[in-house]
Structure 1
Amino acid sequence: MKFSSTDKYVAPADLTVAVNAAIALERPLLVKGEPGTGKTELARQVAASLGVPMLEWAVKSTTRAQQGLYEYDAVSRLRDSQLGDPRVEDVSHYIRKGKLWQAFEAEEKVVLLIDEIDKADIEFPNDLLQELDKMEFFVYETGETIKAKQRPIVIITSNNEKELPDAFLRRCFFHYISFPDTETMQQIVDVHFPGIKSALLTEALTQFYEIRETPGLKKKPSTSEVLDWLKLLLAEDLSPEDIRRDGKNALPRLHGALLKNEQDVHLFERLAFMLKGKR
């Protein structure tokens, strides 16, 4: 099974190599990068490229590793026993399968996305070491061992909010998604907006990369944000001249798609004030 770019996703050569290496090694692929660089979308496009289903486990700060395996609903079983429900004799009625269990029991290979693993408690990755390594786990309530019928392709994303344990990192193939250069970004834009005029795209991308390189910027705009911005520019039918910045206004047109906090907006307002003072 070989992953490659799809008609909806431009995968740089190094990312393609990383995905295929992880598949060949049968190791989880740990993907890091700036928010908005397509880490989550990568898993969806790997599934699309390989023609296999995808299961998504979105991790939150309250997520426990056990939830990915299964959860035992003891409260419902107690209630049913009090009501005389005959189902209480079969404990499996009260087992809710998690995403790992679903991936392990699938008849065909699947892509399993564990999204934003760094949001969870620091022990979360360690609690999955055995399961991801051996591709099996034990269900204490039923006494059965669940083994993967087909080893899933596991893709794990992280925004670097927390350091991940070394023992966990040793079991992964790692890749950092670098921010796209101008040429790659043009390819990405062509996928989403194939009819965009080159003059508008050139002006928009020039401004976009200038904004990203502005000293003091708290949050740099990402790939997803420049795509949103371009969508708005096209919806408003703006020309390159319409969006060109001058000394009167250092803020880009429709800047709310690119700048996501008041500190960065104030930064560009101060830059505009300084430019006026020099004129």
Structure 2
Amino acid sequence: MKFTGTPSYIATRDLQIAVEAAITLEKPLLIKGEPGTGKTLLAYEIARSLGKKLISWNIKSTTSAQQGLYEYDAISRLRDAQLNSDKVSNIRNYIRKGKLWEAFEAEAVPVLLIDEIDKADLEFPNDLLQELDRMEFYCYELDETISARQRPIVIITSNNEKELPDAFLRRCFFHYIRFPDADTLQQIVAVHYPGLQQALLQNAIHLFLEVREKRQLKKRPSTSELLDWIKLLLAGGTRPEELESLQLQGELPPYAGALLKNEQDLNALLYGSTHRSYYS
């Protein structure tokens, strides 16, 4: 199984090698990178490219590892017992399967996305060590060991909000998605906006990269924000020469709100400092 990208997703050679290595080693692929560089989308495109089912587990601050395995609904069972329901005799009626269980029992190899694992508490990755390593877990209520029919392709994303434990990292193949260079950005934009005027494309990317180079920025614009910005440039009929002649010092790009998401960064771009206020 080789992943070379899709018509809508430009995968660099380094990324292709990382996906292939993780599949060959049968280890989770841990993906890091700036927000907006396509970490989550990668899992969708791998599933699409390889013709696999995607099972997505979106992690929140309140998510526990147990939720990925299963949850036992004791309250519903108690309520049904009070109503003398026939369901009570079968405890399986009160077992809610989690995303890992769903992936383990899939008939064909699925792609399992564990998205933004660093949002959960510090113990979350450790609580999944055995399940991701051995591809099995024990269900106490059923007195059964649930084992994977075949090992899923596991993609784990992280925004580096928390450090992940060493024991967890040892079980993963790691790849950092570097921010695309100008040539790769042109390929990405061309996929989403085929036929875009070459002069407008080049001037927009040049200006976009110039914005990103401003060291004072708190949040540098991402690839996804570049695509939003170009959509607005096209909708507004922006001419290439308007971008070519624009001077960032003291002048904002058109539709700057697609690129810069707080007033401090607007000030930094306009004045080279966060002290003066754009709104004053």
Give your verdict on TM over 0.5: yes
Q: Does 1:25 align with 2:39?
A: no
Task: Kindly report which structure 2 residues correspond to 1:116-131, keeping only aligned pairs within 5 A, or say none.
Answer: 116-131=116-131
1:98 corresponds to: 98
Higher alpha-carbon deviation: 204-213 or 263-272: 263-272
Q: TM-score, normalised by structure 1?
A: 0.95
**How far is the alpha carbon of 1:248 from its aligned partner?**
8.0
User: What SS is found at the alignment partner of 1:234?
Assistant: helix
2:155 corresponds to: 155
1:254 corresponds to: 255
Distance in structure 1 (CA, Å) of the matches to 2:130 and 2:221? 38
2:219 corresponds to: 219
1:263 corresponds to: 264
Q: Which amino acid aligns with 2:14?
A: D
Task: Kindly report which structure 2 residues correspond to 1:185-196, keeping only aligned pairs within 5 A, or say none.
Answer: 185-196=185-196
Q: Which amino acid aligns with 1:264?
A: D
Gaps of 5+ in 1: 273-279
Q: Figure out how many residues of one structure are paired with residues of the other and give that number.
A: 272
Post-superposition Cα deviations, 1:86-128, rounded to whole Å, max 9, x if no partner, equal: 1111111001110000000000010000000000000000000
**How far is the alpha carbon of 1:52 from its aligned partner?**
0.6
Distance in structure 1 (CA, Å) of the matches to 2:159 and 2:46? 20
Across the aligned residues of Structure 1 and Structure 2, the Cα RMSD in angstroms comes to: 1.2
Describe the shift of the 1:202–1:127 C-alpha distance in structure 2 as closer, same or farther (beyond 3 A).
same
Q: Does 1:49 align with 2:49?
A: yes
- Indicate if the aligned counterparts of 2:15 and 2:175 stay in contact, CA closer than 8 A: yes
2:168 corresponds to: 168
**How far is the alpha carbon of 1:215 from its aligned partner?**
1.9
User: What SS is found at the alignment partner of 1:164?
Assistant: coil
- Indicate if the aligned counterparts of 1:118 and 1:159 stay in contact, CA closer than 8 A: yes
Q: Which amino acid aligns with 1:31?
A: I
- Indicate if the aligned counterparts of 1:139 and 1:146 stay in contact, CA closer than 8 A: yes
Q: TM-score, normalised by structure 2?
A: 0.95
Q: Which amino acid aligns with 2:164?
A: L
Post-superposition Cα deviations, 1:255-279, rounded to whole Å, max 9, x if no partner, equal: 011001111012123249xxxxxxx
Distance in structure 1 (CA, Å) of the matches to 2:8 and 2:248? 38
Post-superposition Cα deviations, 1:225-269, rounded to whole Å, max 9, x if no partner, equal: 001101111111211123342378421100011001111012123
Post-superposition Cα deviations, 1:14-51, rounded to whole Å, max 9, x if no partner, equal: 00000000000000000000000000000001111111
Give aligned-pair identity as a percent. Answer: 65
- Indicate if the aligned counterparts of 2:211 and 2:269 stay in contact, CA closer than 8 A: no
Distance in structure 2 (CA, Å) of the matches to 1:23 and 1:154? 9
1:245 corresponds to: 246
